[in-house]
Structure 1
Amino acid sequence: IVIAGGHGQGNAPNQLSCPTDVLIDKETNSLIICDRGNKRVVRWSRRDGTTEGEVIINNIACWGIAMDKDRYLYISDIEKHEVRRYQIGEQNGTLVAGGHGKGVGLDQLNWPTHLFVDEHYSVYVSDTWNYRVMKWTKNASEGIVVATGFPRGLCVDSSENIYMADYGNHQLVCWPKEAKEGIVFATGD
C-alpha cells in the first residue's frame, strides 16, 4: 500500500522525489517527509482519502528529520552543512549544529544526514564525510565527537548509548556513553 507519493517522481503535491527520511507526527496523525529531490519538507496526512502532501518547509536540501518532545522539527541540510530547529509553520528555523561551512572543525559538519534528538534536546548528527557522529547539547556553539565510522541511521537510548548503522563498514555498532570504541553487534559478514 502506497501512503505518500506513488504517482511517479516529480514535484506535484501528489508526488515525491528521492525521499530520504520520515517521521510520524502523532498529534496531527501525519507523516513528515524529507523530500530531498524537491528540496522540501512535506506533511502527508495518514487519514483515508489523502491524495497529496502539504509543503511545510521549502528550499532546503534536507536529508534527516527528527522531532523533539515539544514538536519542534530538526532537519539536516546537506548543502549548507547544518542542522536547524523549526517550529511547525516556520520557514527559517534556528541553527543548532554546524552552519560554519563544510569542514572538520567541532563547529562544522560535512554532509549531515540522519538525526536523533534526546529528552534533553541534545542533537546527534551523522556527520557522514567526517566519518563521525557529533553530539550538540542545547545551545552549544560546537559539538562533541561521540562515535566514529561511516554513520547513517542512528538512535540513542536513555543511558546515552548510541546505536549506529555503520554504512561503509556493513555493520551495526553500539557506542556506550563516553566509549573510545564501539561494539559491533551485527555485521554483513
Structure 2
Amino acid sequence: MSCLAGLVWNEAEKMCDWKAVDSITNCYKTARWSTDGTIIVGMDSEHGSDSHHLSSPLGVFVDTHNGNNVYVADKDNDRIQKFLGSSLSSGGITVAGGNGVGSAPNQLDGPVDVYVDKDENIYIADYGNHRIQMWPKDATSGITIAIRNDTSAGVNYVSFLYSMFFHEKTHTFYLPDYFHGRILKFTNGSNNGIIVAGNNGDVSTFNSLDGPTSVFVDDCETLYVTDSGNCRIQKYVKGASQGITVAGGYGRGSNASQLNMPYGLQVDKYKNLYILDTYNGRIQRWGPNDNVGVTIIGGHDFGNAANQLMYSYSLALDSEGNIFVSDLGNHRIQKFNILPETITC
C-alpha cells in the first residue's frame, strides 16, 4: 500500500500513519494545560461589534503557518475577525464581511466557520447564504467556490451547515450535514457533493450518524466525526462505509468514558483527540486506543469564570499546543496555555 511522503502503512490500523506504530512517542500523552484561560477577546462576556467584542463566535482557526494568527467566525456580526498572534489582545481586524448582512460578494450572512491556507486565503462557511466563500489575501470581497443549489436531501445540499473542514492537500471541503446524518465532500470549485460517511438514518449503528457537528480529516484522508446525537467520535478510514468508535459511545453522561453533545474536534500528530464536550462544559483528551478520556479544560459547570465554558462551539491548537476555544455563550475566545514541563519529549 502506497502512502503520502512522510507516512507509512500501519497494518494493524489498516491506514497510513505518521510513523511505524512501535516508533511513535506520544509527547502529549501526559500533557496538561492551564486551568484558567486567558481571554483574547470578549473580556466582559457581553456581545458587541467593536474590535474587542464578538457576537456569537462560532468557528475558530489558528494559522500555524503564519505566526499563529487567530481567525474567528463572528456569526451575528456577519464578519471574520483576525487576531495577530504576536499581540492577541490588541483587538480584532475585520478581514471578511463586516458590511452588513447580505449575499453580495463583500457580505456574509451568519458565518459559522473559517479556514486559512498557507497563502493566507480565507475560506468561509457562509451559513445564511448556503455557500462556501474564498477571500484571497487582502481582498475586499469573496468568490463563491461551492454552493448548495437545491432544497432536497440530494448530495448538493447541506440542511444545516454547522462547520466545515478544508483538506488543503486535496483541495476538498468536508461538510457535516446535521439533519441528514452524513458527511459530504466537495471538491474545490464544484457544486457536486459525495457522501463519505453516514446517510443511514439517525441511529447508533457503525454506518450511521445522528447530528454530526464537525469533522477532522488527516493526511491519509481518515475522517474523525463528532457524532453528537450518539455522544461519540467516529473514525472512518478512507473509503470505509462503517465507522469505528474511538471516543464515547457509552450513552450521554459526564463520566470519563462518556460525552454529552460533543461539537468541536481536533486531532494532533500523535493521534490524540481533543474533544469539545459541549454540554459537559469541558474539553476531553483521548489518546490512541484509550477507553476513557481525561478532562484537560473545564468541567466546572457552566459560567464565565476563567476556568469555565458556556456552550462552547469549536476549538483549535496552535503550533505550540496551546488550545483556543470559541466560548459561544460568553461571546469570547479563551486561550489555554500548555504547561511545557508536562510535555514528555
Query: Scaled by the length of structure 1, what TM-score is found?
Result: 0.86
Q: 1 CA distance for matches of 2:285 and 2:241?
A: 24
1:54-133 alignment runs, 5 A limit: 54-59=194-199, 60=209, 61-133=211-283
1:146-165 deviation line (CA, Å, top 9, x unaligned)? 11213211011243211111
1:1-189 alignment runs, 5 A limit: 1-47=143-189, 50-59=190-199, 60=209, 61-148=211-298, 149-150=309-310, 151-177=312-338
1:40-62 deviation line (CA, Å, top 9, x unaligned)? 11111114xx3321111123121
Q: 2 CA distance for matches of 1:114 and 1:166?
A: 11
Q: 2 CA distance for matches of 1:69 and 1:53?
A: 20
Q: What is the percent sequence identity of the aligned residues?
A: 27
Is this contact kept in 2: 1:4–1:53, CA < 8 A? no
Residue type of the alignment partner of 1:18: F
SS class of match (1:64) = strand
Rg comparison, structure with higher value: 2
Moved more, 113-122 or 65-74: 65-74
Moved more, 165-174 or 3-12: 3-12
Q: Which has the higher contact order (CA 8 A, sep 6+)?
A: 2
Q: 2 CA distance for matches of 1:5 and 1:58?
A: 21
1:5-53 deviation line (CA, Å, top 9, x unaligned)? 3324431222221021211223432111111122111111114xx3321
1:66-122 deviation line (CA, Å, top 9, x unaligned)? 122332111011111000111122122221111111000011000011111111111
Q: How many residues align?
A: 177
Cα offset for 1:178?
Answer: 5.3
Q: Which runs of 4+ in 1 moved over 4 A?
A: none
The answer for unaligned runs of 5 or more in structure 1 is 180-189
The answer for unaligned runs of 5 or more in structure 2 is 1-142, 200-208, 299-308, 341-345
